[in-house]
Every structure is written in structure tokens, then in C-alpha cells.
Amino acid sequence: MLPPDFLDEIRARIALSEIVGRRVKLTRAGREHKGLCPFHNEKTPSFTVSDDKGFFHCFGCGAHGSIFDFVAKTENVPFIEAVEKLAGQAGLKMPARTPGEAERAAKVEGLVGVLELAARWFEAQLAGNAGQLARDYLKKRGVSAEAVRRFQLGFAPDHRTALKEALIARKLSEAQLLEAGLLVKPEDGGATFDRFRLRLMFPIADRRGRVIGFGGRTLGDHKAKYINSPETPIFHKGKNLYCAALAREAIREAGTVIVVEGYMDVIGVASAGIPNVVAPLGTALTEDQMRELWRLTPEPIVCLDGDAAGQRAAYAAAERALPLLQPGHSLRFAFLPEGEDPDSHVQHAGRDGFRAVLDAAKPLSAVLWEARIKGRRFEEPEARAALDRDLKQMVARIADPTVRTYYDTAMRERLWQAFGVGAAVRSSRGPGRDPPPNRGPGFRAGGPGLRVGPPPPLSPTFRRERLLVVTVVNHPALIERIAEEFAALPLKDNDLDALRAAILDIAGSGARVQGLDSAGLREHLTNKGFTRALERLSSGPGALIDRFARPEAPLEAAEIGWRHTFHLHRRAVTLPTEVEAAARAYADNPSGETKARLDALKEEMKAAVDEGAANDLAAASGRDVTI
């Protein structure tokens, strides 16, 4: 039997759509991909692929399965051979299947059994006479009986050996309890005793939902408010997340995961009707925990306490994420009001109030920028040069070359917007007033980017993406006409992607699109926290847009221009992948059919490149362009 962690690692390293796309021509449809089913003949696509959920499904023939099932079915090989093939592509070695491996697996199962039994015992103590103190505490914190059951909360009595005696009476050995982290062995060689005493107990599960450790909150005067199980063969504090298994389905449905600080925060937020929430285990987010979060969703939202410590934690997490960034994987940061934590805020602000905080979450790039300008003054060229140097050093830490390139462009743009040419002052406080504190002459209040000299060149991809989004913002009546294409539009820029999602949300939330003008749509978006994203559409370097995108353009002209740009953009973004897939198909099966498809795609690619080059030349000349 293959370890589930090994299979999960393959899933994390290889996107299902990448494997399916080698045999099926896929098109983006919202968060999923669509194509013609490879398992039966069809003319209308009914085959869907979901990277988020990790499975494919055909609504025509009912075919369904994981990445391993797809390879096994399409290549007619046993499941284990499909795993071996994918493991090789992922750069992983197959786990050794030896008697020793089997023995270790049995040992893990044995430890899990011990901890599951301990969890049931802690639950019984909470429900019994000994648990009155813990029940009073939970009632005071507003934790319902249903939440107690759902999170399997328990209580460790104030007795030195209560758990030890109870589990040994159930035929478990002292050695097993020690290895599971439930007992402590004194250094002086004295008798072992219970690790958790007079504490509210939080079982910690692995991604399969098995109890692998505990967190305990003191209900007495212990110096340590919270303690966790020690490192054991199955529990590693820096690699696990509290409630990841319990929240998995809610995370899939919501499309994101919220990361809060502690156990009670998770319980409070989930009990308020936001169940897609997890927490690290009493430490700052580790690299392993970030990887685990990205296995769940591409862009987790880290929601931190509203104080200086919370801000410092945000900056630290942002810095730690830098070397790990991959295309499509990032973090967002939501900051609570001063003095609030997630549990207290959701208690008095309710679900909607908490969601408003999440909706205003800042992207990772914004937090990294803020971390470098906070408390600094930029009146002098030397200070700006130091900021420029710091940003370059920050970007250099990003391992992925594609992400590194985009971050370099983004930070260049932020520098340009912050300082501009000649470092002219533009304070948001109005004429005649002092510049904002810590931001001397030359710093534009609210500006997110930099550069002295001409603005940085924008990539053709970003120019097309911005043109497509700004056309919709200036012509909301287009939404009904191009909603499907707009939802399926491949956007690499995270801010534009978030803006697009907000526009579709507004259009689908009861707003009358027919009567919604540009000013009304912008007001909705501003209320959702997209002020800076809207400013980015119409200001900064490369803001020139074609006539069809402007507010005064006729709707019909806007639609024609939008569709033309959409098809050009789709070809530019997806064609390289399609050409690569066709080349691989031809290499694997050199036939007339595969060669004809490869040649046709190459011709289409050449036409797209020629058309894009002409538009780039027009953009460089400073004219109105059709991007």
C-alpha cells in the first residue's frame, strides 16, 4: 500500500490539467477546464477537469477519477504503474516496499490507535463531572455544544497519572504512551506522568483525519498557556495545520482557505458559518505549512490579529513565502481592527463583518512593499536608491524565474508610481499641507510602485489583460454579452483576476447589469476594496487604451474590440502550451494525424506572434493600439 503522503506529493507537484491536456484539448471555464471526453465519442464538450478538486468528470459517460486514474485508463496500465510514471515526472522516487516499510507503517497505525483512544478519553472527561471547569470556560467563550462535538474537544483532569492509568488499564503499554507523546519521563529517572493536566484539549489530525497529536490550553496557572504534543514519529508541529482535514470540503467549495492564529480562532470563525479555516500549531507559519496550504488552494488568506505583533507576523510570513512562490501560488493578508483577534471579531461583528475584513485582504506584493517603506523617509536620492536596492535583493530571493520576472516588473511599477519622474510631490492631503509622516518630498501618498526615468515597459500579456478588464469596467452592459468568455479569460495578473471575479460577483448578486453604468460598477468595486486596482486600470505607465475601450465608445464597437482582443489573448496564452502538447503527442506517436495537428498549431502560433509583434510596435510608438 502506497503512503497517502506520497500520492499527495505527486498531486501537489503535477497539475491534473497538465496531464489531461497532453491528450485532450482543454479550454478554461472559470476555475475548471473543459474538453471532449477521451473515453467516448462526443461533439459537444462534457468532460471537465478540476485542479482544485483533483479529479476529472464526464457528464456524458460518467468517467471520473484522479490523476492516477486518468493515466491508468488512457494508457491501459495498472494503477501502480500509473503512479510510477507520474512519480518519475514529478522527480520523486517510489517508496521502498520492503518488510521494514511495512513494519514502520504498522507502527504508525499503532500510534494513531493510541492517540485516538486518548482523544475519546479526553472527550469523556469533558462530558463528565471532572469537566465542569472546562465546560464553564467554553460557555464563557461562546463555544456551543455542537462545536464541542464537531471539534472533538476534551479535558485533561488535574491529576498526575489519570490518563496513564486509564490507558494502561486498556492494555496499552507505558512505552506506547511515551512514544505517542502522552507521558513525560523525568530526567532523574522517576516515574512517568501525564503530559497534559488541567487543560482544555484540542485533537490535531493529519490530512486523512487521523489524530496524531494534541494541543492543550491551561485552565489553571501554568506558565505555558498552550502546549502541544512533542515531536513523534507521526507528529511534526511545523508540518501540520489545525483542522485541515475537517475544513477540506469547505475549502474546496469556497475556493480559498483562511489561516488564523490559534485553535479558538478556528472554532469561533467556523462556528460563525465560515468553515474554510485552519491554523498553524502555535508557531508562525512555516515553509512546510505554506506548502500544505497551497495543496489546498492557490491563494490562502492569512488573517492576523489587529496589533503590532500581527503586522510583524504578516511581514515575517510574507518574507518566508518569497523563495517558495510558484506561478499561481501566493498569499493574501487580512488585518483585523486594533485589539481584535479572529474569534473576538467574529463574535461581535458577525459573519458578514468578518467577511468584509477578508474581502479587503491585501496581496502578498503589497505587504512586501509596505514592509520596506514602513517607518522610512524618502526625501533624499540616497534613501530612494536604498529602497531600490532592497527591492532588488528581495526579488532575487524568488526561486521561480517566471514569478521573479513578474515581481521585478511589479516592484518597478510601484517605484514609478511612488516617485515618478523628477520626484515631484503629490500629497493626498491636498495643496499647502504637509506630506504624510515618514514620507518626505518625492513620495506619492498611496502610490504602490517606483522608478526614476521612463516608466518600465509593460508586457504584451499585461496590456491585453488590462485592456480586456477596463473595457468591461467602462461598459458594464457588455457583461451579459460576454459573461462566459470573461469568466474563462486566462489572467496572469493576480489583481486583475481578483477584479474580474468581483465584477462577475456583482453581476450575479442581483445588480441589474442592464441599468448598471460605469460609475455604478466602480462604486460597487470601491465598496469591495478595489480602489487601488481601479486606479491601476486608468493611471500609471502604459495606461493608454484603444478607443473601443473608452467610456464614450458605442457598445457595439466595445464588444467587437473586446472579442478581437480576447481571441488574440487566448491564442497568445494557450497556444504555446498546445504546441508543446502536440509536439509531445507527435514524438510519442508519429502519425499523419499528429503531424497535421502540430503543423496547424505552428501556423496559428506564427500568425499570433506576427499579429502580436505588430501591436507591440504600435504600442511602442505611443499611438492608440489594439492590443
Q: Is the predicted pLDDT of residue 536 greater than 80, yes or no?
A: no
**Closest to 353 (Cα-Cα) out of 393, 399, 306, 307:** 306
How would you class 534 by CB atoms within 10 Å of its CB: exposed for 0-12, middle for 13-18, buried for 19 or more? middle
| CB contact at 8 A, 45 and 36 | yes
Note the Cα 581 to chain centre separation in Å. 27
- What does the pLDDT average to over 280-300? 89
Note the Cα 7 to chain centre separation in Å. 21
| Within a domain: 336 | yes
Between 395 and 529, name the one with better pLDDT: 395
Sorting pLDDT into bands at 50, 70 and 90, what band is 453?
very low
How would you class 109 by CB atoms within 10 Å of its CB: exposed for 0-12, middle for 13-18, buried for 19 or more? exposed
pTM: 0.58
| Within a domain: 455 | no
Query: Across 17-26, 431-440, 447-456, 596-605, which has the greatest mean pLDDT?
Result: 17-26
Q: Which domain holds residue 473?
A: 460-620
* Residue 259, SS3 per DSSP: strand
Residues 487 and 605 in one domain: yes
Q: Which of 112-126, 158-172, 549-563, 593-607 is predicted least confidently? A: 593-607
Q: Which residue has the cell 499528429?
A: 594
Residues 330 and 417 in one domain: no
Q: Which residue has the cell 471537465?
A: 48
CATH at residue 46 = 3.90.580.10
* Residue 100, SS3 per DSSP: helix
Residues 46 and 111 in one domain: no
Report pLDDT for 608: 57
Residues 113 and 197 in one domain: yes
Distance CA(423)–CA(450), nearest Å, equals 10
Q: Is the predicted pLDDT of residue 182 greater than 70, yes or no?
A: yes
Between 151 and 81, name the one with better pLDDT: 151
Residue spans of beta strands (DSSP E) within 474-599: none
| Within a domain: 180 | yes
Question: Which of 71, 89, 107 is where one domain is finished?
Answer: 89
Q: Is the predicted pLDDT of residue 426 greater than 50, yes or no?
A: no
Residues 229 and 249 in one domain: no
Distance CA(626)–CA(609), nearest Å, equals 14
| Within a domain: 626 | no
- What does the pLDDT average to over 140-163? 96
| Within a domain: 476 | yes
Report pLDDT for 540: 52
Question: Which of 235, 259, 282 is where one domain is finished?
Answer: 235
Distance CA(334)–CA(366), nearest Å, equals 12
| Within a domain: 251 | yes
Percent helix, strand and coil across the chain, each to the nearest 5: 55, 10, 35
| CB contact at 8 A, 152 and 203 | yes
Report pLDDT for 420: 55
Query: Residue type for 441, please?
Result: P
Q: Is the predicted pLDDT of residue 352 greater than 60, yes or no?
A: yes
Distance CA(411)–CA(364), nearest Å, equals 12
Distance CA(365)–CA(357), nearest Å, equals 18
- C-alpha distances in Å from residue 387, one per residue of 406, 411, 414: 18, 11, 11
Contacts of 596 by beta carbon, 8 Å cutoff, 6+ apart: none
Report pLDDT for 610: 52
Residues 470-500: pLDDT tens digits? 999 999 988 888 887 888 787 888 888 888 8
Residues 193 and 211 in one domain: yes
Report pLDDT for 609: 55
Question: Which of 450, 479, 504 is where one domain is finished?
Answer: 450
Between 2 and 211, name the one with better pLDDT: 211
High-pLDDT (> 70) share of the chain, %: 85
Query: Across 188-192, 508-512, 547-551, which has the greatest mean pLDDT?
Result: 188-192
| CB contact at 8 A, 47 and 38 | yes
Residues 350 and 478 in one domain: no
Distance CA(627)–CA(625), nearest Å, equals 6
Report pLDDT for 514: 55
Distance CA(78)–CA(279), nearest Å, equals 38
- What does the pLDDT average to over 565-583? 75
| Within a domain: 373 | no
Distance CA(51)–CA(326), nearest Å, equals 15
- What does the pLDDT average to over 343-367? 92
Residues 317 and 400 in one domain: no
**Closest to 380 (Cα-Cα) out of 440, 424, 432:** 440
- Residue 28 backbone phi and psi in degrees, to 5: -75, 135
Sorting pLDDT into bands at 50, 70 and 90, what band is 574?
low
Sorting pLDDT into bands at 50, 70 and 90, what band is 369?
very high
| CB contact at 8 A, 223 and 198 | no
Mean pLDDT of the chain: 83
Which grid coordinates are listed for 309? 505583533
Residues 439 and 480 in one domain: no
Number of domains in the chain: 5
Distance CA(256)–CA(29), nearest Å, equals 18
Distance CA(589)–CA(477), nearest Å, equals 48
Distance CA(159)–CA(145), nearest Å, equals 25
| Within a domain: 625 | no
Beta bridge partners of 216: 201, 227
Report pLDDT for 1: 67
CATH at residue 563 = 1.10.860
**Closest to 274 (Cα-Cα) out of 201, 331, 202, 343:** 343
Residues 152 and 118 in one domain: yes
Report pLDDT for 434: 35
Residues 512 and 611 in one domain: yes
Residues 218 and 252 in one domain: no
